[in-house]
Amino acid sequence: MSMYTSCIIGQFKLLHPHVTSFADCGFMIAGKFGREVMAISQNLFLIFIMAAHIVAFSVAMNALTEHAACTIAFMFAGCIICGILSLPRTLKGISVWSYFSCASVAIAVLVAMVGVGIMRPGVGTEAVVQQGIPIVEVVNSILNIAVSYAGHAAYFGFASELKKPKDFYKSVLMTQVTSTVFYAIVGLVVYHFVGPGVMSPALGSASPTVRKVAYGLAMPTIIISGVVNGSVVSKYAYTRWCRHRMHHKNLGALIPWWLILVVVWVLAWLIAESIPTFSLMLAVISALFVGWFSYGLPSVLWFHMNRRQLTESAQKLGLVTINLLILTFGAAVCFVGLYASIKALKDGEGAKPWSCKSNYDSPPPAK
C-alpha cells in the first residue's frame, strides 16, 4: 500500500508540477481552507517527528551513561544540540548529511544484530501466535510498523528537487524495496536471537557493551534526522512570513529565523517530555498523521485526478475499490490508533511524563 500511494503522489506531481507540498494539494482541492489545514497538519507531523528524535536521544543517553543524569536534562540537551545545528538557514550539505545519517544507523543496527547473535538471550524460546493479546497492544504494534513507511509527507518536496521528475518512481522503488528487505532481515535476526524480550528501540536488546557501541554509532542519525525535520518546518514558516528578507544576512533577517527555530524546538521538547516512551511516541505519530499522509490523502488525490473517469471501465472500477479500501484503512489507523494510543497513555504504559526517571528499560537477563 505504501508503494502504491507513493506512486499516486508521483503521478499527481507530474500532472501538477507547481505542487511542492500537501498544503498546495489542499489549496487545489479545497481552496485556502484546505491549504491551511494541510499546512498545519504537515508541520505538526514534522514537529512530532522532531519530538521522537529528542526522545530517542534521551533513551540513547540513558543507555550510554547508565542514567547518569535526569531524563528531562537529557531531553533538554538533545533539544539544544539539534536547535544549534539548525541555525544555518540553508542545508547545502543535506545529501552528505543524509549519507552519513543512513550509514550511521545501518552500522549501528548491524552491530546490534551481531551482538544479539553472539549473546543469544532468547534462543530456545518457542515462537507462537499468542492468544488474548489486548487490542491496544495489537494496534500499537501495527502503528509502529506503519510509521516505518511514513515518508510521504516529504515526497512532494523531494520530487521538486529532481532534474528528471520521472526519476521519482525509481527513487521510491529503491527506497521501499531496500527498507522492506532491511526491516525483514533485522526483524528476523533480532527476534530469533532475543525472543519476546526485544527492546524498543531494538538496539537496547544487545549486551551492555554492544548496546552502548550501537547507540553511540546511532547518535549521528538521531541528531541529523531531527535537525533536517526542524529545518524543514522552520523554513516553511520563514519563507511564508519573511520571504522579503530571505536573501539578506543582517539581524533583521536572522532574528526571525532564530525565533522560529526556538518556537518549533520548544514545541518538540514539550511533546517529547509529555510522551517520553519511544514506541508510544511512534504510535501517537502514526495514529495522528501517518494514516492520512501515507494512505488516506494519496487516495483522495487519486480520486481528484480521476474524478471524471471513475466508471469508464472495469479497471477503473477496480482501482476505485482499491483506493476506497486504502482510504478506509487510513481512517482506521487514525481513529482506532488514537483510541489505542490514548488508552495506553491513560493506563500509564511506558515512562512517566516529566520525570527524571530513565526512559530506557534494561533488557531482561539472559536465561
What digits encode the pLDDT tens for the residues 132-150?
888 888 888 888 888 888 8
What is the per-residue pLDDT for 149?
87
What is the per-residue pLDDT for 110?
92
Q: How confident is the prediction for the chain on average, in pLDDT?
A: 87
What is the per-residue pLDDT for 92?
65
- Hey, what's the cell of 23? 498544503
What is the per-residue pLDDT for 222?
92
What is the per-residue pLDDT for 83?
93
CA dihedral in degrees (201, 205, 210, 213; nearest 10)?
A: 10
Selection from 61-70, 82-91, 178-187, 295-304 with the highest mean pLDDT: 295-304
Q: Which residues of 77-91 are buried (b: 16+ CB within 10 A; e: fewer)?
A: ebbebbbebbeebee
Q: What is the pTM of this model?
A: 0.85
What span, in angstroms and rounded, lies between the C-alpha atoms of 367 and 279? Answer: 25
Percent of the chain having pLDDT more than 90?
Answer: 47
What is the per-residue pLDDT for 168?
93
What span, in angstroms and rounded, lies between the C-alpha atoms of 282 and 272? Answer: 11
pLDDT tens-place string over residues 228-251: 888 888 888 888 887 666 667 778
What span, in angstroms and rounded, lies between the C-alpha atoms of 288 and 351? Answer: 20
- pLDDT average, residue stretch 285-310: 93
What span, in angstroms and rounded, lies between the C-alpha atoms of 29 and 4? Answer: 21
Asked if the model's pLDDT at residue 367 lies above 50, the reply is no
What is the per-residue pLDDT for 363?
54
What is the per-residue pLDDT for 53?
94
